[in-house]
């Protein structure tokens, strides 16, 4: 899935010797400003920045509050001919010139690029640079980009804005400014940890997901990118969210690393009562793995995430393998003050996927760590049918039980972990699910005996924790019958394997549950799965 934004401008220069010299001087001033002089220097480059104004800790929140009191207005860029019909390939042929990255070579180590507008990205988004207590909006400057042969050329007179930005940092090597986070499209953003590739995305807010009225997609109208302090290792981005139903003020404190962390502080101002808002929404792709295969494919698995992990307020660890059923599936896991949830990618070997191009084993997991008491609600999981790996078909978020009232401010604070193996997995004191598989089981009562889709065989393997001693399994089904189950060590994988059969004769839907125990003590995650006939 792709993503969106707004920004900048410069007048065309006369093509004369004097004009070229003046233009070179102006671009040199832009380069100095982009590489980060203080705002007086930036203000001295009007080709790039508008007039600087004051910026404070409550600037964005005040803007969101004021905007919520006004009727919603949807703005679109009036794209000129050529840019109004951009194809995906044409849009990809417009590239930011990395030599013009903002803050390049500054001591703090960060830089950022901007994205051009076009294709799906025609909603104007303002991008500001903040230095201390001053802010300045970026103008639209075509010279920041390289327009390839497939792309049309701008005339330099029309403000086409920007569509987002990406952050860079020497994440994997001190000599390379790696792209590690992107904000583009509605309220979508994504990031990676060290050694990883982009995979799933997060969003600022979800509204009415799965509701009969249809889903509403809030979007970020403006971003404020703050110049980092030297050697701090953190870059701060603030954002103004808007939609017909709500506005919001966001602050992202972003620290790249093996576990790239984002501390998110958000305050929402509803324009109407919000009964179904999703906090910390995550969006991913799951096509298939050993739990089921809706398409023919040579690969062993295809997904950005393979399960929903949750640590409940009472301390129970839950694992729900993702599924790609023929019909939409919606699940709600009720909780009080959740300690965390996330869409995880636990398969980490090339052999798990056999995909030399997509390299799904290098996609990040994304763990949401609530900060403070989020009260009652549920983690909702949406599994949307798809036959294509290009479709993001998995959504998960926290849904507060209480309605968010119009005219009130609603605040949430949480930390996002973009990582290979997230801290929650490393700190868990129980064994975690490392493999889930399912298939038709044998029906020996049939004449002749045959594999029957109503007889399901499940294999679940656990690793880590303390699995010594006499380990038993507690397995149950909401419908149908668990006919047999057994727990035994897998001497090859060095895991503990649970296998069981489920007789789903005459059943359309069944909720399955399994957990390992030693006596009365729980020693593993609780494995949950929904089986459906269709």
For 170-203, what is each residue's pLDDT tens digit? 999 999 999 999 999 999 999 999 999 999 999 9
| 359 is a domain residue | no
For 316-356, what is each residue's pLDDT tens digit? 999 999 999 999 999 999 999 999 999 999 999 999 999 99
Task: Tell me whether strands 509-518 and 526-532 are parallel, antiparallel or unpaired.
Answer: antiparallel
| 199 is a domain residue | no
| 472 is a domain residue | yes
CA gap 113, 145 in Å, rounded: 10
Contact status, residue 453 vs residue 300, Cβ threshold 8 Å: no
Structure tokens at 49: 């920045």
| 43 is a domain residue | no
| 148 is a domain residue | no
pLDDT at position 43 is 56
Task: Tell me whether strands 94-96 and 145-147 are parallel, antiparallel or unpaired.
Answer: antiparallel
- What burial letters (b/e) apply to 389-411, b meaning 16+ CB within 10 Å? beebbbbbbbbbeeebeeeebbe
Residues with Cβ within 8 Å of residue 174, at least 6 apart in sequence: none
pLDDT at position 231 is 83
The CATH number that applies at residue 459 is 2.60.40.10
User: How many domains, the chain?
Assistant: 1
Residue 18: is its pLDDT beyond 80? no
Residue 130: is its pLDDT beyond 80? yes
For 441-459, what is each residue's pLDDT tens digit? 877 777 888 888 889 999 9
Where helices occur in 331-457 by DSSP H, the ranges are 423-427
| 424 is a domain residue | no
Give the rounded percent of residues in the chain with a pLDDT score beyond 90. Answer: 82
pLDDT at position 143 is 92
Average pLDDT over residues 389-408: 97
Average pLDDT over residues 369-379: 98
Give the domain range for residue 511.
Answer: 432-532
| 498 is a domain residue | yes
For 145-158, what is each residue's pLDDT tens digit? 999 999 999 987 88
Average pLDDT over residues 40-55: 74
| DSSP type of residue 402 | S
pLDDT at position 230 is 86
Which DSSP string do the residues of 134-157 spell out, in sequence order? EEEEBPP-GGGEEE-TTS----SS
Residue 300: is its pLDDT beyond 80? yes
Neighbours of 70 (CB within 10 A): 9
For 516-533, what is each residue's pLDDT tens digit? 999 999 999 999 999 998
Residue 136: is its pLDDT beyond 70? yes
| 526 is a domain residue | yes
pLDDT at position 362 is 98
pTM (predicted TM-score): 0.91
Task: Tell me whether strands 302-303 and 235-242 are parallel, antiparallel or unpaired.
Answer: unpaired
C-alpha to C-alpha distances, 434 to 27, 286, 497, nearest whole angstrom = 54, 17, 10
């Amino acid at each position: 899935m792709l993503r969106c934004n707004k920004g900048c401008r410069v007048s065309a220069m006369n093509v004369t010797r004097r004009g070229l010299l003046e233009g070179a001087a102006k671009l040199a001033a832009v380069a100095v400003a982009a590489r980060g002089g203080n705002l007086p220097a930036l203000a001295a480059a009007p080709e790039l920045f508008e007039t600087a104004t004051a910026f404070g800790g409550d600037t964005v929140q005040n803007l969101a509050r004021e905007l919520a009191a006004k009727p919603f207005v949807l703005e679109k860029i009036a794209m000129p001919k050529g840019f109004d019909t951009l194809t995906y390939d044409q849009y990809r042929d417009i590239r930011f010139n990395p030599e013009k990255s903002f803050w390049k070579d500054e001591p703090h180590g960060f830089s950022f690029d901007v994205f051009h507008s076009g294709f799906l990205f025609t909603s104007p988004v303002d991008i500001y640079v903040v230095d201390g207590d001053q802010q300045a909006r970026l103008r639209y400057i075509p010279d920041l980009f390289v327009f390839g042969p497939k792309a049309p050329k701008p005339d330099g007179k029309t403000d086409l804005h920007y569509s987002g930005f990406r952050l860079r940092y020497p994440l994997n090597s001190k000599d390379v400014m790696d792209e590690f986070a992107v904000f583009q499209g509605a309220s979508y953003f994504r990031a990676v940890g060290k050694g990883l590739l982009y995979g799933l995305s997060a969003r600022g807010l979800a509204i009415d997901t799965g509701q009969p009225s249809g889903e509403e997609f809030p979007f970020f109208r403006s971003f404020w990118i703050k110049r980092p302090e030297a050697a701090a290792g953190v870059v701060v981005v603030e954002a103004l969210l808007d939609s017909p139903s709500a506005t919001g003020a966001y602050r992202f404190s972003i620290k790249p690393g093996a576990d790239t962390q984002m501390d998110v502080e958000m305050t929402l101002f509803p324009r109407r009562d919000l009964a179904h808002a999703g906090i910390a929404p995550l969006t991913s792709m799951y096509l298939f793995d050993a739990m089921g295969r809706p398409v023919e494919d040579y690969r062993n698995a295809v997904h950005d995430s393979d399960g929903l992990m949750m640590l409940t307020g009472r301390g129970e660890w839950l694992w729900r393998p993702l599924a790609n059923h023929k019909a939409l599936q919606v699940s709600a896991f009720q909780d009080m003050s959740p300690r965390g949830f996330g869409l995880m990618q636990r398969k980490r070997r090339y052999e798990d996927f056999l995909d030399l191009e997509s390299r799904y084993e290098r996609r990040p997991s994304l763990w949401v760590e609530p900060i403070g008491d989020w009260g009652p609600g549920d983690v909702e999981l949406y599994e949307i049918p798809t036959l294509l790996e290009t479709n993001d078909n998995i959504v998960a978020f926290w849904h507060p039980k209480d309605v968010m009232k119009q005219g009130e401010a609603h605040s949430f604070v949480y930390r996002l972990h973009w990582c290979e193996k997230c801290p929650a997995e490393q700190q868990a004191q129980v064994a975690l699910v490392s493999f889930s598989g399912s298939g038709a089981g044998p029906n020996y009562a049939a004449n002749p005996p045959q594999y029957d889709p109503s007889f399901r065989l499940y294999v679940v393997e656990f690793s880590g924790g303390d699995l010594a001693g006499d380990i038993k399994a507690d397995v149950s089904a909401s419908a149908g019958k668990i006919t047999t189950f057994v727990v035994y060590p897998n001497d090859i994988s060095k895991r503990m394997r649970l296998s069981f059969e489920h007789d789903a004769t005459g059943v359309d839907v069944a909720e399955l549950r399994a957990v390992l125990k030693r006596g009365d003590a729980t020693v593993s995650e609780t494995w949950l799965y929904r089986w459906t006939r269709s």
